[in-house]
Structures are given as structure tokens and as C-alpha cells.
Structure 1
Amino acid sequence: MSFIKAYIEQQTISRRNLLLLSAYGLGGMATMGALRPRGARAAGSAPPIAWSYRDRTDPYWNAIVSGGEAFVQSLGLPRSALINLINEGSSEKSLADIKAVLSRYGSGVALAADTNDAPNCRPVVEAVSRAGAYVSTIWNKTDDLHPWDFGDHYVSHMTWSDVGPSEQTARLLFDAMGGKGGVVHLGGIASNNPSIERLAGLKNALKAYPNVELPGVQAADWDTQKANQVMSGFLTRYGDGIKGVHCASDTIAYGVIEALRAEGIETMPIVSYNGNPQAVDLVIKGKILATVFNNPYWGGGITAALAYYAATGVFRPSAEPKDHREFYGPTVMVTATDARDFKSKYIDGNPTYDWKDFWGLSKGQIQYKA
């Protein structure tokens, strides 16, 4: 498990460097050259393409941005043409960076964004709409916010239906526990839609397992180091009563595994989410029972593509049906029986995608609870 320690150390170094750069006014998008003086965009020229996301040190977000870069390259542009807006898990920074890009480039911007939490999506969309730019979002928005209420400028929103897959992994976990004992859940940021849905999936599964208890639920903010601390606290509090761990992401699972190893525990059943390369290797080795893959590479590329092709007039969002404006992305549960084949297809190399096939992998329109 040496890679987990190395992963935690690399996260620490990367974040420290980013904070140091930010302190000198060189961090975030300025680091990427987004605010360097440039001339006005000529009529008919390609619009600037930006991706606003949490942190590229996380393998999931690295895959998202890699997909965005692949799309940019499909236009004949260098990867460096993608403007990276790194919000570091801050909704305030997310909104400030997006407003700065809009101020610099105006109506031409094609923006792909995860707004960090659901409430922040509305001010982001309103700022983009006022500027006459175009935005496609993923993961986080409130249920009352819809692209079709903003004409063409709020192009689309994609999320993943996490309740069902999370319930599947929970059932697998409970079976590995012999259908009894305590399970703890480590979540992401509490206000994040995926964090909410993955906990809901766990609770759904509990209904069919009366002898499984849930003594501990705590947010780990998608962070490996915080997950390590949270799991250590759970072990102190509940001790041998913990028989399994339900993690809202792979990066959380890495911290959990390290906390368990520190106590000499090597066989605790664990499930996680995201299908990161390291997690798939751990599934192959039997250290994680299952992870759920939602194809972040495709998600990152197609979200940027939707914003770009709306900005360039290839399609008109307001003319599209609602299931093209709000839709679910694909998910695949990865277990030991199929992990090697999965790794060969999705990790050893990325499939080639048609970035104009916007809804080819869509799993239908987003459904809301009444």
C-alpha cells in the first residue's frame, strides 16, 4: 500500500505549492495564463474554453480535465488552450474565477464547470447568462435550477444517478460482512449532490439488512487525509463494532485503508466510488470489494464540447428536448470478477470518442423526487 502514503504526500506537496503560488498572485487561473493580456477575440474566431473544477491532484478530476484537453485537441488546438480554473474546493473561489474570465473575455466564453456545491450553481449560471457566454455544468445544482430557464446560455447539466449504484455496492458490502455488524460511512462535502445520493443509496440498502447497523456517518470532504483522520476516530469510538466501510469516493477509501493498516487491520471489507486507476488495482488485489466508474474522461470532454459547440452555433440548446439539457451520465460497477477487463478497456488506454455525439452515452433525463 505504499502508493497510498505517496498519494497523501503528493497531495500535500501539490496543495502547498498551489497555496504558495496563490500567495504571490500566481495561483489558480493566473497560473494557467488565463489573465494574461490578450487582444479582443476576432469575429468568427474560436471562443476561449475553460474548465472550472476542484483540484487536479485528485485522479478523478485529473481524468475530467484530461477529457477536456482531449476535446480541445480534437479542434486542432494545443492542450494548453484549455483555461484551468482550480477552485480548491471553494465555492467563493469558483464564482470569483468564473467572473474574472467572463470579465476578460465576455460573451465568447465556453465554460464547463462543477460549481463545487449545489447553491453556487445559480450565481455561476446567472453570471454566465448576463455575460452572454455559455456554460455546461456537472454534478452540483439545486433541483429548482434548470437550463431551459436560461435560453441558450445555460447549455446543459449532467449528473450521475448515484443512489442505485451506491445501493449495489452497499449490498455487496453487507453480504461480505455476513449480513450483520456495524458499517461506517465516510462522505464527501455534505452539500454536494453526489455525497447526498451516495449516502441515500447506503440507507436504502440498510432496509433489507436488519442486522446491519450504521453507527457512524461523517463528511471527509473528498479528501484522503481527512478520511484517514475520520476513520481513525471511528476506530477509536466504535472499535471492533465496525465490520465494513462504505466510502463516497476512491480517494476517501485510500485514507481509510491507511487508517486500518495503522491498526493492523488488513481484511476489512470496503467499497468506494469513481473507478480511479489505483482503486481498480485495489479491487484486483482484493483490498476493495467494488468501485463505481462514471467515465470522467468522457464526462470532461463532452461537457466542454457542449458548451463550445453551443457557443459556436453548431446547435441551439433551446431547440433541444429537455432530456438533452439535463441528463444522467453512464456508470459501471467494477468488481474483482471484471476488474482486469475493465482496466484494459478504460484505464490502460482511453476509448476514442466522437465529441459531437453529445448524448450517445446519456442514460436519460434527470428525475427529481416529488
Structure 2
Amino acid sequence: MSTFIRDYIEREKINRRNFLLASAAGLTATAVPGLFGQGQARAALTDPAIAWSFRDKASAYWNAIYGGGEAFVESIGKPKEFLVALINEGSSEKSLADIKAFLAKNNGNCAIACDANDSPNARPVVEAVQQAGAYISTIWNKTDDLHPWDFGDNYVSHMTWSDEKPAEETARILFDAMGGKGGVVHVGGIPANNPAIERLQGLKNALADYPDITLLDAQPADWDTTKGAELMASFLTRYGDEIKGVHCANDNMAYGVLEALKAEGITDMPVVAYDGNPEAVQLIMDGQLLATVFTNPHWGGGITAALAYNAAIGKFKPSEEPHEHREFYGPTVMVTAKDAADFKAKYLDATPTYDWNDYWGPSNGPIQYK
């Protein structure tokens, strides 16, 4: 196996250590009170500052998200450094504090793209942006009762991915590789994350058609490689040979799972993942992963920034758009051994060129609530 997994784990440890040291020293961003606006969208902002608020740069997925944002910024004639990275390191408290500080620093003259880290954090983030008179587009995490159209133009849009069906498809690929019988474990994301919930539900949906497959356990590893390795090691201690397959809610955790399996001398355990990161695609080509699901983070990162910025400068008025343009699904592509090489050539070895004014072209329709 490539050494990139071990290197990846070490980078995560260093990033976490640096964040904790900064927090202890009081260096994390805090809001400056009294500088916000009156909670009304301005007719149009002039040269607004742009930020992307996301989890970390150790992940290929989030690097691709941010890279899409940089591509959009360059498309409007600005250097990519104009895009500010607000990295929350998996902390919802830091996510909110950093956004409030960014709003205060720029007196609300802002356009923000954001993953709120967990669903409950989305509302205070959006409320802070509206109060400042700024604009925000979000991805992945929000509660079902939070809608952009309830915030006028300030909350421009929300995009998520319909993870349940793709996760069900990866589960079926996994179960077939297991011969339709045996025990499976699920390595999950942050419990309050919408994608973590949907990806586990997709696994459970597939189980209904495989009566000889038993779900032995499903526990969170918080999207983290190191935690994924630790959880898999604990699963092996508890269940041993009963485990015949592993369903991972993202690629990063799958890397840790593979390391834990390798440490026990297990090299033939079928494992599926999610996100379509370059390393995961290579592992599929090398025969170490069965499948992953690509959500086109480059496009998602760029179009989310484009929506927030172009609404802020008055290029379009969100409140005049239909609901399906304000809450919508992003695209997904299943990647397996039979198509991994073609996928890599199209999406990873080269970056497709996107029209950042085509806000909804590759999207997959309005969000459906159950």
C-alpha cells in the first residue's frame, strides 16, 4: 500500500495539535460586537470580500471545494488569494466565531460560502450573516426547518447531495462482494451531519434485500482518518472473523480502516467508501477499495461561491428565483474498478472547465424532505 495514508494521518495530527495550541493561546477568531448592519440586504454590495468556511485543508475533498472557489475568484479577474479560507477544524463554535469575525472586519460587505460543520450550527451562521447585511450560500449541513427563502436575499442557496441512494448502491456492491452473507460494520461521520445520517440509512435500505447480511455495528468516526483506524481496530477486537465487509461514510475514514486491517494482516476485506477523492480512486484501481462516490467538489465549491458573490453584487436576486434554485442537490458519480481509470482521466488528471454563471446546470433537482 502507498505511504500516503500514514502521511495523511500524521498531517491530521499536526493540524489538530496546532489548532489546540492556537485555541489555548486565545488566537481563534471572535466576533467584534456593534459593527454589524441592521439585518437588511443592501441593494448591491461593492467589491465584497469573499470567504469559504470549511473543515480543513488536510482533506483532498475540502481542498477540491476550496480550489473550486479559487477558480471562481480567478474567473472574475481577482487573484485566488482574494478568497479567504475560514478553517473550522471540525468545530462548530469556531465556524460561527470565524464567520462573525469576518463579517465584522468587512462591516458586512461580504459574500460567504460555507459548510456549517453540523446541521444545528447553520441557523446561527445564517442569522449572523443576515444581521450583517451580507450574503451566504451553504452546502451539506442545515436542519430541515431552515430555508433560504425565509431570509430574503441574504441566504442565497443551500446545496446538498442525495446520499441515501448512492450509499445504498455502494452497500449493494459490498454485499455482493461478500457473497450475500456475513457481518458488516459501518464507519460513520459526525452524527449530526446530514450526509452521515443519509449514508447510514442507505446501508440500512440495502440490508432489507440481503437477509443473510447482518449489521454488526455502526459507530461514528467523525470523518477522521485516525478515528476511522481506531474504530476499525475496536470492531476487529469485538467481532473478529464475524466481520466480512466494511461500509465507510467517506474516503478519509476508509484510509484509516485499511490501515487497521493491514495491521492485523487482513488484505482481502471488501471495503466501500464515499467522496471520490484521488487517493480513493487510486486505491480502487489498485484493488484495495471496491467503490466510492464522487460529488464533484470542485464544481460544488466554485458554484457555491459564485451564487453568494453574484447575489451580493446584484447580478441576480435570490428572492425572485423558484425554490428549486435555492435548495437543490449536487451531482454524484459512482466509481468502481470498471470505470475508475476513465473517471480519473476526466475528473482528476484534468479539471473540467465550468461556466460559473450556469448556477444549476449540473445540479440534480430540488431537495426532497421526508
**TM-score (norm. length: structure 1):** 0.94
Give the alignment of 1:259-298 within 5 angstroms. 259-298=260-299
Tell me the SS of whatever aligns to 1:268: coil
2:123 pairs with 1:126: no
Is the counterpart of residue 3 in structure 1 residue 4 in structure 2? yes
Contact 1:28 1:85 in 2 (8 A): no
- What CA deviation, in whole Å up to 9, does each residue of 1:70-92 have, x standing for no partner? 11111111111111111111111
Partner SS state of residue 328, structure 2: strand
The CA distance in 2 between the partners of 1:220 and 1:265, in whole Å, is: 21
Q: How does 1:1-370 map to 2 (within 5 A)?
A: 1=1, 2-24=3-25, 45-369=46-370
Answer whether contact 2:46 2:109 (CA < 8 A) is retained: no
Task: Report % sequence identity.
Answer: 68
Paired residue secondary structure (1:107)? coil
Letter matched to residue 230 of structure 1: L
Alpha-carbon distance in structure 1 between the residues aligned to 2:23 and 2:82: 21
Shift of 1:13: 2.3
Separation of aligned partners in 2, 1:102 and 1:27: 15
Look up the equivalent residue of 1:158 and give its one-letter code.
M
Determine if contact 1:136/1:157 at 8 Å carries over to the other structure: yes
Q: Secondary structure at the match of 2:305?
A: helix
Partners of 1:26 and 1:83 in 2: CA distance: 17
The Cα of 1:44 is off from its aligned counterpart by 6.5
- Residue by residue over 1:286-343, the C-alpha shift from the partner in whole angstroms, topping out at 9 and shown as x without a partner, is 1100000000010000000000000000000000011100000000000000000000
Q: Contact 2:186–2:246 at 8 Å: present in 1 too?
A: yes
Relative to structure 1, the CA distance from residue 285 to residue 197 in structure 2 (aligned partners, 3 Å threshold; closer, same or farther) is same
Structure 1 contact 184–244 (Cα < 8 Å) conserved: yes
CA apart distance, 1:107: 3.0
Which residue in the other structure is 1:39 paired with?
Answer: none
What is the CA RMSD across the aligned residues, in angstroms?
1.5
Aligned length: 357
Change (3 A) 1:272 1:44: closer
TM-score, normalised via structure 2 length: 0.94
Q: What residue identity is the alignment partner of 1:287?
A: Q
Which runs of 5 or more structure 2 residues have no equivalent in the other structure?
32-43
Q: Runs of at least 4 residues of structure 1 off by over 6 A? A: none
Cα distance in 1 between the residues matched to 2:18 and 2:137: 29
Task: Give 1:115 shift.
Answer: 0.4
Deviation at 1:10, TM superposition (A): 1.9
Asked if the contact 1:29/1:86 (under 8 Å) is kept, the reply is no
Post-superposition offset of 1:14: 3.0
